[in-house]
Amino acid sequence: MFIYKQPKNIRLPKYFLLVFGMVLLFSPQMAIPQIPASGLVANYPFNGNTNDVSGNSNNGSITGGVALTTDRFGRTDSAYVFDGTGEITIPDATSLRPANAISVVAWVFLTDTATWPNVVCKSHSLSDPFHSYILGTDNWSTNTQWAFAVSNGGAGSLGYTDEPSGVGMNQWIFLVGTYDGAYVKIYMNGLLVKKEPKTGAIGYTSSSLRIGSAGSGANFNGKIDDVLIYDRALSDCEISQIYNIDQPAALTVTSNVTNVTCFGGNDGAIDLTPSGGIENGCLSFDGVNDMVNIGATDRASDSFTMEAWFKPWGPHEVDPESISGFDGTLGQKYLFGPVNGIANATAGVSVGTNGISVYEHGTGYMPAVAVYAASITNDWNHVAVVYDNKTPLIYH
């Protein structure tokens, strides 16, 4: 592997293009993720009780058939099991009434859909729209889909989104519902699976918050754990961060996450058709002019990782490793495009069925600074390019 020190700062790319794949960008030092503290209004780890540990004292009380049980790590008395008759009730509070945005998070283990299983519900009234916000199953689809909904408080204002892949019985599922003032979204196991447009402030009454029920005849059968409520819409990165908390220790809230960084402000602008079973799960590029511009704000520099699954359709030009020249201008199939950084060089990754190359583009140069020249199948492949203090390494 060719190793060198580039005198200028190296930045993450602004574009990815030309091939077929899923793209992930990471900060270099990956540690155990922690719960984002910003906007957290309720946190129920269910470690032996129904207390809210967010600091807002939104503590719950048990009614009916609810008991402590083992959680997804096998720890005793660390989750609650619901028998279809009980619920955990939390009194109404100002902190439980986010007006313009919200996120509801829970781990669930559903065992029966005979009733209308609901996970978290802030009721509104006994008539339309019924709920202020609710995470549970979609009763209009015979309880076979997870759904999240919010309402403005008026009749007919309940706007919901449901996922298409099924509830997943007798297994732990990570659910997140968000509302950001523009869309209602639902995530399963860290991935966005559906979104629907929705606007307006959320409407409320003094009704209680319920966990495991949305009222009579809408009770949960199975286990629920680690319920979180935020007064803002969590980002995709934050949702993935929470999902990947998989260590057998209590979830830790921190306002200063030092080793995991979500670089915001880089949503892509695309003109492509998503493909695959998960909405926005992967993108197909035509190799001619398709691209995604992920913006230029908050990009990591000098030490970072570019990672992706990709499926190449043909070869790219393999250039020799160098620290000078303009080899990256012709014959490349860029997974990440190295746009001229002017003051700082920008890194990019070109892939093909004949190898992987890392290019850097700055004023007066665009060389291949690291090259993996070997045959690659035209099936799904994984690549990670790790920059450590301006030095790139290719992992395939």
Residue 247 and residue 191 in one domain? yes
Q: Are residues 194 and 68 in the same domain?
A: yes
Residues 237, 122 share a domain: yes
Decide: 370 and 358 in contact? Cβ < 8 Å: yes
Domain boundary among 223, 254, 285: 254
Rounded alpha-carbon distances, angstroms, from residue 347 to 206, 325, 332, 386: 54, 15, 14, 11
State whether 95 and 110 are in the same domain: yes
Kindly report the CATH number assigned to the domain that includes residue 56. Answer: 2.60.120.200
Asked if the structure places residue 1 within a domain, the reply is no
pTM: 0.62
Count of domains for the chain:
2
Q: Tokens 């802030």 sit at which residue?
A: 122
Give the Cα separation of 224 and 217 in Å (integer).
Answer: 18
pLDDT at 142: 63
Evaluate whether residue 177 is within a structural domain.
Answer: yes
How do the pLDDT tens digits run along the chain, 396 residues long? Answer: 333 334 345 655 544 444 333 444 443 333 445 789 999 999 999 999 999 999 999 999 999 999 999 999 999 999 999 999 999 999 999 999 999 999 999 999 999 887 788 999 998 766 565 789 999 887 655 667 888 999 886 655 455 566 666 788 899 999 999 999 999 999 998 888 888 899 999 998 888 999 998 876 688 999 999 999 999 999 988 898 898 875 443 344 443 333 334 444 444 444 444 444 445 457 777 677 777 766 554 567 788 888 888 888 889 888 898 888 888 778 888 888 877 655 577 888 999 999 999 988 887 778 889 999 999 988 889 999 999 888 899 998
67 & 202 share domain: yes
Are both 245 and 118 inside the same structural domain? yes
Which of 232, 254, 276 is the endpoint of a domain? 254
**Rounded to an integer, what distance in angstroms lies between the CA atom of residue 222 and that of residue 82?**
5
pLDDT at 327: 80
Report if residue 2 sits inside a domain.
Answer: no
In this structure, are 235 and 86 located in the same domain? yes
Which residues constitute the domain of residue 387?
10-31+261-395
Instruction: Name the maximum alpha-carbon separation found in the chain.
Output: 73
91 and 111, same domain (yes or no)? yes
Range 281-287 contact pairs with CB under 8 angstroms and sequence separation of 24 or more: 281/22, 281/191, 282/20, 282/21, 282/22, 282/309, 283/20, 283/21, 283/22, 284/20, 285/17, 285/18, 285/19, 285/20, 287/18, 287/19, 287/313, 287/314, 287/333
- Judgement on whether residues 22 and 101 belong to the same structural domain of the protein: no
Residue linked to tokens 């020190």: 5
Domain presence at residue 18 = yes
> Are 382 and 353 within one domain?
yes
Q: Indicate whether 227 and 319 sit together in one domain.
A: no
pLDDT recorded at residue 292: 74
